[in-house]
Structure 1
Amino acid sequence: MSALICGSLAYDTIMVFPDHFKKHILPEQIHILSVSFLVPEMRRELGGCAGNIAYTLKMLGSEPLIMATVGQDFGMYATWLEQLQIRQDYISEQEGFTGQCFITTDLDDNQIAAFHPGAMGMSHVNRVGDVSDQVKIGIVAPDGKQGMQDHARQFAEAGIPFIFDPGQGMPMFSGDELLELINLASYLTLNDYEAEMICKATGLTLEQLASKVDALIVTLGAEGATIYADGICHEIPPVKAAAVLDPTGCGDAFRAGLLHGILQGWDWPSTGRLASLLGSIKIAHRGGQNHKFTQGSLAEQYRAAFGMDMPN
């Protein structure tokens, strides 16, 4: 059984400005802003929600299938996926660029970012019904708006349970549009900020939203997570990270843990603990696809973090 991951694939270019933005931006001149930053440190990471989720899910031993649209510059990323033995059957190439994010960070970790969606805007050309593999679980992660809507509807029509993960795509949707997708989904996952946003957009409380899905998962950063399921609120403890280097992709690693636990038929406390652990492993590495673990090392870290064995 496979997990179908509908979401973005993107290149992230991260530049570090070895100073503070506030020294170079004059508040009284913000209406004529024109600034240039020398960035001697730069790196390029492979990212996008679908790629990050698939990366961690593959290491867990599950079978990720990515459904995404990419541009004609995807060759380097495709080679990486080949090395990971992550299938590319449902990744379609479009004209133009793969999604691109350009991020400049200063010494206070403030960020100025620009995102070019590129081929991501064509995500709706892919259809869940075209997947020939047997899919047990899906996820609709941030992507082109129409693609997210279409894929949610297609999962529901096919009777495939799926996680709705609006993430940074949430501002694209009205409250009514969000409610439609939530009503189609089996699971809803948000971070704490997104949870406040979606409650405001829909006019519903978290408890009311939880009643519409089999499980509502809310991540709380360094405070762990909360899972509302079967009328129970499961408090998932945090895991202290070996280092806090880069939060990019932590939510995606967490979601890979959710997908794996669902695929394995684990209960929610065990699934949540695995997801929490994976987020802490990721944050100790830069980029969304540079952390590593083995089945053995993961089991040891699970036992050390929670005082119990990880389910088989």
Structure 2
Amino acid sequence: MRIAVTGSIATDHLMTFPGRFTDQLIADQLSHVSLSFLVDDLEVRRGGVAANIALGLGSLGLTPLLVGAVGSDFAEYRAWLHEHGVDTESVRVSRTRRTARFLCMTDEDLNQIAAFYTGAMAEAREIDIAGVAERAGGLDLVLISPNDPEAMARHTTECRELGIPFAADPSQQLARLGAEETRHLVDGARWLFTNEYEAALLRERTGWQREDVLARVGTWVTTLGASGVRIDRHGRDPIEVPAVPTEKATEPTGVGDAFRAGFLAATGWGLGPADAARLGCALATTVLAATGPQEYTVKPSGLLADIEAAYGEAAARRISPKLETL
């Protein structure tokens, strides 16, 4: 399966606050918040939603095409992605801007406060999906993940015009999108990915009810954190898949990206949505135990052990043939 992953490519600056954000918020003072948090550590890691997902797909044996815009400071990051099976030939390098920056602070409850500097990502709107497809000899799926909003809209339009199936993952950019922009990104998607909060925000933005959304997409996949995943399809009962339990929750950045990588890899292997969600949950738990969204190693035996423990021997047996070839 030839997948192009469009979206952000960034450097993550990850900080840990040894307390709870909620303890610092005073209910009757929320109209003029002014807070500064003293953090214990700072980790600088490779990140960006599209790069995280692409690395996950590459680590599972696919050769995804990463599509996004970066600065001239990308050379070392490019080499890292190549080592993990990612095709970066469709990445645009800006002459004037630096690669995007993600600044994120996590408290002891794994709540996060974050900011994102766009940088070179603003030039992603100049990338032509038709050119990417031509270079690749055709595309089976384009994932449209958080990116420059104009780039997201352009890539979606191009997929429709070219007849290329696409997956919509508006995620953090829902906060920047209006009603028509959100509807444009969702309508006709083969897959729609959100977390539970984003699902509610998407309904608020579009003015659509759950059934309205399901009538416009193939499958709606909603991650529920520690509760797992819900998969909705129009006219069919939801599929609920519990999360893979873990005793080591280190840092949540990139966990949702890992889920998407596992889910799409399994889908590309021909597995059904429930098994795809199981692999996605197992990979997400692997990332949750690491600091940073790409600081993990895919170990097929470990993933299969987690899948068998969480979902049973039959599920592990269905997934194992592909993992064992890695």
TM-score of the superposed pair, with normalisation by structure 2 = 0.87
How far does residue 172 in structure 1 lie from its aligned partner after superposition? Answer: 1.8
- Per the alignment, residue 207 of structure 2 pairs with 203
- Per the alignment, residue 297 of structure 1 pairs with 302
Taking a change above 3 Å as real, the CA distance of residues 280 and 310 of structure 1, as seen in their structure-2 partners, is farther
1: CA distance, partners of 2:303 / 2:85: 20
Q: Is the 8 A contact 1:303 1:310 kept in 2?
A: no
Taking a change above 3 Å as real, the CA distance of residues 296 and 174 of structure 1, as seen in their structure-2 partners, is same
How far does residue 176 in structure 1 lie from its aligned partner after superposition? Answer: 2.0
Single out whichever of 57-66 and 286-295 deviates more from structure 2.
286-295
User: What letter corresponds to residue 253 of structure 1 in structure 2?
Assistant: A
In structure 2, runs of 5+ residues without a counterpart are 322-326
User: What letter corresponds to residue 318 of structure 2 in structure 1?
Assistant: M
Find the partner of 1:173 among 162, 177, 181: 177
Find the partner of 2:254 among 238, 249, 256: 249
Q: Is the 8 A contact 1:49 1:249 kept in 2?
A: yes
2: CA distance, partners of 1:86 / 1:277: 21
Taking a change above 3 Å as real, the CA distance of residues 230 and 204 of structure 1, as seen in their structure-2 partners, is closer
TM-score of the superposed pair, with normalisation by structure 1 = 0.90
Indicate the SS of the match to 1:251: helix
2: CA distance, partners of 1:266 / 1:29: 47
Q: CA RMSD in A?
A: 2.5
Alignment of 1:36-185 (within 5 A): 39=39, 41-94=41-94, 95-105=96-106, 111-131=112-132, 132-133=135-136, 134-185=138-189
Taking a change above 3 Å as real, the CA distance of residues 33 and 272 of structure 1, as seen in their structure-2 partners, is closer
2: CA distance, partners of 1:248 / 1:235: 23
1: CA distance, partners of 2:23 / 2:247: 32
User: What letter corresponds to residue 254 of structure 1 in structure 2?
Assistant: F
1: CA distance, partners of 2:33 / 2:227: 41
Alignment of 1:210-225 (within 5 A): 210-225=214-229
In structure 1, runs of 5+ residues without a counterpart are none
How far does residue 288 in structure 1 lie from its aligned partner after superposition? Answer: 0.5
How far does residue 207 in structure 1 lie from its aligned partner after superposition? Answer: 2.4
The share of aligned pairs that are identical, in percent, is 32
The aligned length equals: 311
How far does residue 229 in structure 1 lie from its aligned partner after superposition? Answer: 2.5
How far does residue 289 in structure 1 lie from its aligned partner after superposition? Answer: 0.4
Q: Is the 8 A contact 1:10 1:100 kept in 2?
A: yes
Q: Greater strand percent: which structure? A: 1
User: What letter corresponds to residue 81 of structure 1 in structure 2?
Assistant: L
User: What letter corresponds to residue 269 of structure 2 in structure 1?
Assistant: Q
Q: Deviations over 1:152-193 (max 9, x none)?
A: 111122211111000001122212221122113211111000
Q: Is the 8 A contact 1:156 1:185 kept in 2?
A: no
Q: Deviations over 1:115-142 (max 9, x none)?
A: 2110111111111100111321120000
Q: Is the 8 A contact 1:53 1:255 kept in 2?
A: yes
2: CA distance, partners of 1:34 / 1:273: 40
1: CA distance, partners of 2:6 / 2:239: 27
How far does residue 21 in structure 1 lie from its aligned partner after superposition? Answer: 6.9
Taking a change above 3 Å as real, the CA distance of residues 28 and 229 of structure 1, as seen in their structure-2 partners, is closer
2: CA distance, partners of 1:243 / 1:32: 33
Single out whichever of 3-12 and 270-279 deviates more from structure 2.
270-279
How far does residue 291 in structure 1 lie from its aligned partner after superposition? Answer: 1.9
Q: Is the 8 A contact 1:152 1:184 kept in 2?
A: no
User: What letter corresponds to residue 236 of structure 1 in structure 2?
Assistant: V
